[in-house]
Structure 1
Amino acid sequence: MNPTGKQVYRYAGGLAVVLGVHAAVIIIALNWPGPKPIEMPPAAMVVELPPLPEPPAPPPPPQVAQQQPPAPVEEPPLPKLAEAPTPKIAVPKPVKPKAKPQPKPMEKKPDPPKEVPEQAAKTEPTESEKAAAPKPAPQQPAAPPSNSEAKRTWQSDLLQHLAKYKEYPRMARMRRNEGTVVLEFTLDSDGKLLEVAVAMSSGSSLLDEAAVKQVRKAAPMPKPPAELLSGGTVKLKAPFNFNLTDPR
């Protein structure tokens, strides 16, 4: 065999070895076990709250109608009357009445003494009577409030607590900005604020920032009931209204 044929066989053998090594690497890579998927925790329950109660607007001051004084009425002059002569009245002399004989005073008889009623003797019941007497039924404790009542009470307390920290930005009032901001925030079992975010903007960055600031200043909030907790937390969604008629 000539040298050229030997070189061809060498190249062919080397190529076959290289292809075999690559094929083995590909097969091992395909059969290599992948990472296990990470299980995500269950999604938190979102509780939507009604709009915050707005404080009532102060009543307008009562308008007092100014009453004009009536115009003076000129009275016509009275005609002069002729003076009548003063009449003389004859007074008869008083006649002294004859003294009547006074009747003798009647002697008053003393009232007979009133009989005092005898008081009934109070007798204490015997031991046999005490045993025969019916015993009072024990008072049953009041039933605890239902879950729905506890939820409504907590939501009402939470909305009243948030309303205390509402502030209308002065710059937003000057610009006549109004709108509603919807926030999502998470509380733990003690009412501490874990996170807050804007779910729906009002269209004004000043109002959005004021709503977020209001929630952060209100923390910690009333403790949520146990039936609303999911994994020790509760996620809430609440609208925050900003109207120029609001006094705050």
Structure 2
Amino acid sequence: MKNIRMVVSYVGTHYHGFQTQPIGNTVQDVLVQAIHVLTGEKVNIVASGRTDAGVHARGQVFNFITSSPIPIGRWALALNSRLPGDIAILKADEVPLDFHSSYSAKRKTYRYSIDTNKFADVFERDYRFHYPMPLRLSEMREALSKVVGKHDFTSFASQRSTKRSHVRTILEARIEQGEGKLDLFVTGDGFLYNMVRIIVGTLLWVGEGKLSVSDFERILEAKDRTAAGPTAMAHGLMLWEVSYDD
């Protein structure tokens, strides 16, 4: 038996998220079916985390146990020939049998992308949230810096969150600006359901002047979802990278 780890990119536009669910049409369903067609095995995929409907991934990580004799160097090519054009395996390697894509992960980075142009860029409309409002970028950067460190992020977690603890550590958070574009990168040891999207929705209120930096800090300390801003649209979010000790 071998434990195979893979890095996969996907466009989440037409899927109901990564994780298998009753309504079907998830990225996990497609991957499991492709592996079944390739090997005849019905494997159990373990992912680094779930992404919601419409959310994309540049570097999602998953692993599975297999008895297939396929050489490790052939897995990505063999699977990609059986996957749709919006899902691609980037890398495959063999890891110890006790490796777990979620439990073994040390840090994850998400990117949230915003189009600030007056008119939406049609070539990126599936990947950037169009928000053509004047934004106070310096205030947004200062507010975003408040999430760095170990905090209880209840204010920035969906009320449907089932996690026992909402305490997480954010290691880095930054905003990169381009012409008519903003990219927010947040790196942490773990994330809650809708956490990045709620942070972004609240930051946009700061950018518009509806909230001050001190308001943002107060919201974080409130541990109350109703105190925060809206949940930003799913299509602007991308699981950027998952890091491990190796």
Select the structure that is richer in strand. 2
Q: Return the TM-score normalized by structure 1.
A: 0.19
Q: Return the TM-score normalized by structure 2.
A: 0.19
Larger relative contact order (Cα-Cα within 8 Å, sequence gap ≥ 6): 1
